[in-house]
DNA sequence: GAATTGGTATGATATAAATCATCAATAATC
DNA sequence: GATTATTGATGATTTATATCATACCAATTC
């Protein structure tokens, strides 16, 4: 992690970003944002912050991919979100929590824009549009979270694996060859941690799905043959 | 469900309510709020709204208790929240969702204050303080949701039952006899649906916990003997 | 290119969970 | 107060899941 030449938000190509969308109306504020922005670069698999750390920042992905996860008992982690360009994270720290309740690591090479909490609060107070849209965004995230909760409570192992694959596809898409995990960043263990399984179970179900001509595996590579059938497993 | 004599928010005793806390600063707005407020009374076990219904309102509990749940496959529902006085629900509908992704029913006799969505949006726009605090509230709810997700993914049946009981206690407390309040309104099935089990499993674990002197059961009544030990099961 | 490492694949086994059948207790209805 | 539903309790059985042991494969290091 090291400081880097900062891109000004105005020049940033990331149109998905909350700051870009809602905070650059007046010049004065744009300047203050640039002054208060920290930009850090992370290489693959670096820890960005850890559960228990003092909440000192709100973060946005300028480019790259990040996994947000929680530590559970017996080293059984749970991946909460897979996110990419423009998405905000660490925002649970906006509530009265003093410490991060989650950890975050980079999956690929990643650039993160951060603001310290007091500045971000000032920004929220002076930009109702930002606050409003953040509120809507959170309402939507709550929706997703509740769907996930129900799914985890009800799904069997096969359905959970299908769900995990679909989650990855929703977050990062498929490449031209219909493969997920393009750069082979996500292990069986990661897939397992998305849905509360262990890597062994994932491997076995992947073999079953291969048998059923739903996908093909070649080491870490997973090629989707029949996305429709995969989705049918989880009823979508 | 029938319309009722409306209490004016200013006279309402519910200090926990978002509207009460953030929206009554100016007289003009107070009047508009009162004019646009619908108050409905529900008796025990009535459906307030159902998953799939068109989102037409944002709701607050004036008094009473409500369970918010999602329908899953094979009639296996999942209880998302147990809430009471002052709490907001149906707010996932604030996002672009057109239809409720959850159902809500009254657990006890309950009074619900509602605003239609367009009015509530206007209220949010004209009251940044409300929007801001709602945003923080949602951030906090996201935290809770993620904890629950991890717990469901990792806990075994015994731990899940303990978790369910603690959830009920956190929501509705214990009475003087250390009994789970309103336990007679929550069935084994409800306890099961809090943590993705079936009623049979709950019954069995309750018998175990009785054996371990952690609680006593007498039909629907559940009396907590050793709360500390109960919490230890889920590591809190 | 042999050796090490980290992840993946797979069958056997042990354990946990879900289901089923039955009975008992309570609440609701007439 | 007898009858009928409903819900809770419990043991037996089936099924699903988690764990273990081992082998395999590919990438990396020496």
The nucleotide whose C1' lies nearest the CA of A184 is C7
Quote the CA–CA distance of B215 and A45 in Å, as a whole number.
46
The pLDDT value given to residue A220: 82
CATH of segment(s) B155-233: 1.10.10.10
Would you call B101 an interface residue with chain A, using a CB distance cutoff of 8 Å? yes
Mean pLDDT of B173-201: 87
CA Rg, chain B, in Å? Answer: 19
Are residues A131 and B136, on separate chains, in Cβ contact within 8 Å? no
Mean pLDDT across chain B: 90
CB B29 within 8 A of CB B23: yes
Quote the CA–CA distance of B112 and B63 in Å, as a whole number.
7
Confidence of residue A182 (pLDDT cuts 50, 70, 90): low
The pLDDT value given to residue B74: 67
The position carrying tokens 């609680």 is B215
Domain residue ranges in chain B: 2-143, 155-233
The pLDDT value given to residue B80: 93
The pLDDT value given to residue A62: 95
- Is the Cα torsion angle B4, B7, B9, B14 positive or negative in sign? negative
User: Is the pLDDT assigned to residue B183 strictly greater than 90?
Assistant: no
Would you call A125 an interface residue with chain B, using a CB distance cutoff of 8 Å? yes
List pLDDT tens digits, range A226-236: 999 999 998 77
Structure-model confidence comparison of residues B1 and B168, the more confident one: B168
User: Is the pLDDT assigned to residue A131 strictly greater than 90?
Assistant: yes
CATH of segment(s) A2-143: 2.60.120.10
User: Is the pLDDT assigned to residue B122 strictly greater than 50?
Assistant: yes
Quote the CA–CA distance of A153 and A163 in Å, as a whole number.
13
Helix and strand numbers, DSSP H then E, in chain A: 8, 12
The closest alpha carbon to A72, from A204, A196, A234, belongs to A196
The closest alpha carbon to B18, from B92, B86, B116, B117, belongs to B86
Structure-model confidence comparison of residues B220 and A85, the more confident one: A85
**Strand C neighbors by CB, 7 A:** A 187-189, 199-200, 203-204, 206-207, 217, 219-220; B 156-158, 184, 196-198, 200-201, 218-220
B204 touches strand D (CB under 7 A): yes
SS (H, E, C) chain B: CEECCCCCHHHCCCCCCHHHHHCCCCHHHHHHHHHHCEEEEECCCCEEECCCCECCEEEEEEECCEEEEECCHHHCCEEEEEECCCCEECHHHHCCCCECCCEEEECCCEEEEEEEHHHHHHHHHHCHHHHHHHHHHHHHHHHHHHHHHHHHHHCCHHHHHHHHHHHHHHHHCECCCCEECCHHHCCHHHHHHHCCCCHHHHHHHHHHHHHCCCEEEECCEEEECCHHHHHHHCCC
Confidence of residue B2 (pLDDT cuts 50, 70, 90): very low
The nucleotide whose C1' lies nearest the CA of B220 is D8
List pLDDT tens digits, range A156-172: 999 999 999 999 999 99
Helix (H, G, I), strand (E, B) or coil at A33: helix
Q: Return the structure tokens found at A206.
A: 């992947």
Mean pLDDT of A179-200: 86
Confidence of residue A89 (pLDDT cuts 50, 70, 90): very high
User: Is the pLDDT assigned to residue B153 strictly greater than 50?
Assistant: yes
User: Is the pLDDT assigned to residue A183 strictly greater than 80?
Assistant: no
pLDDT more than 90, % of chain B? 67
The pLDDT value given to residue A221: 85
Give the strands of the sheet with B57-63, arranged side by side.
B2-3, B38-42, B110-116, B57-63, B88-89
User: Is the pLDDT assigned to residue B182 strictly greater than 80?
Assistant: no
- Do the strands B38-42 and B2-3 form a parallel or antiparallel pair, or are they unpaired? antiparallel
Mean pLDDT of A29-50: 93
Mean pLDDT of B57-66: 94
List pLDDT tens digits, range A59-75: 999 999 999 999 876 66
Mean pLDDT of B16-23: 94
The closest alpha carbon to A216, from A181, A186, A190, A172, belongs to A181
CA torsion, ordered B185, B189, B193, B199, to nearest 10 deg: 150
Which bases of strand D have any atom within 7 Å of the beta carbon of a protein residue? Answer: 7-11, 16-21, 25-27
The pLDDT value given to residue A10: 92
Quote the CA–CA distance of A225 and B10 in Å, as a whole number.
61
């Amino acid at each position: 992690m090291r400081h880097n030449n900062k891109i000004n938000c105005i020049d940033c190509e990331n149109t998905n970003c909350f700051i870009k969308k809602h905070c650059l109306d007046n010049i004065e504020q744009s300047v203050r944002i640039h002054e208060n922005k920290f930009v850090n670069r992370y290489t693959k698999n670096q820890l960005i912050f850890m559960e228990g750390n003092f909440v000192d920042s709100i973060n946005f992905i300028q480019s790259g991919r990040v996994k947000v996860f929680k530590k559970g008992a017996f080293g059984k982690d749970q991946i909460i979100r897979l996110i990419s360009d423009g998405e905000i994270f660490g925002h649970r720290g906006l509530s009265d929590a003093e410490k991060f309740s989650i950890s975050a690591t980079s999956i690929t090479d990643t650039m993160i824009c951060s603001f310290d909490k007091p500045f971000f609060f000032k920004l929220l107070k002076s930009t109702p549009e930002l606050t409003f849209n953040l509120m809507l965004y959170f309402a939507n995230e709550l929706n997703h979270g509740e769907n996930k909760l129900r799914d985890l409570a009800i799904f069997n192992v096969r359905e959970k694996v299908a769900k995990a694959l679909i989650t990855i596809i929703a977050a990062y898409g498929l490449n031209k060859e219909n493969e997920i995990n393009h750069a082979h960043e996500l292990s069986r263990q990661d897939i397992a941690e998305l849905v509360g399984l262990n890597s062994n179970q994932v491997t076995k179900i992947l073999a079953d799905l291969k048998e059923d001509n739903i996908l093909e595996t070649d080491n870490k590579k997973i090629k989707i043959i029949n996305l429709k059938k995969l989705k049918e497993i989880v009823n979508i």
